[in-house]
Amino acid sequence: MKIENNILNQLQANKAEPAQQAEKQQKQVEKGVHSPKKDTLEVSENARLLAKASAALNGVEESRSQKVNDLKELVNSGEYKVPHEELAKRIASKIDIKR
């Protein structure tokens, strides 16, 4: 008659499994079967468009602020002259004048 202790056999098998798995993974790495994953980044088309629009806006804001600063300097120095004809044309185009 043979007596087996099933609990001991299971414990020994459970201890051996991680070691066997590690050994199997090491062999796969050595063979080139398993390669570690690298981090990747994907940018959506909407994100690309948003980045372009943001860059374009920054350029517009800078040139506009430069134009405002130039006009301030002209006004402060007294060199700025109001273009009366151009001003009148713009005002007339914005309102409906009936005669």
Residue 72 one-letter amino acid: K
pLDDT given for residue 12 in this prediction: 57
pLDDT for the residue 24: 75
Cα(50)–Cα(53) distance, rounded to whole angstroms? 5
The identity of residue 24, as a single letter, is: K
**CB-based burial label for 12 (10 Å; 0-12, 13-18, 19+):** exposed
At residue 3, the pLDDT reads: 60
Banded pLDDT at 2 (limits 50, 70, 90): low
Global pTM value: 0.33
Return d(Cα 21, Cα 9) in angstroms, integer: 18
Phi, psi of 71, rounded to the nearest 5 degrees: -65, -40
Q: Which residue has better confidence, 5 or 99?
A: 5
pLDDT tens digits along 34-90: 556 788 888 898 888 998 888 888 777 778 888 899 999 999 999 998 899 999 999
Break the chain into its structural domains and give their ranges.
Answer: 46-99
Task: Fill in the amino acid letter for 95.
Answer: I
Q: What is the CA radius of gyration of the chain?
A: 39
**Distance from C-alpha of 17 to C-alpha of 24, rounded to nearest angstrom:** 10
80 and 71 Cβ atoms separated by less than 8 Å: yes
Q: Please give the DSSP secondary-structure letter assigned to residue 32.
A: T
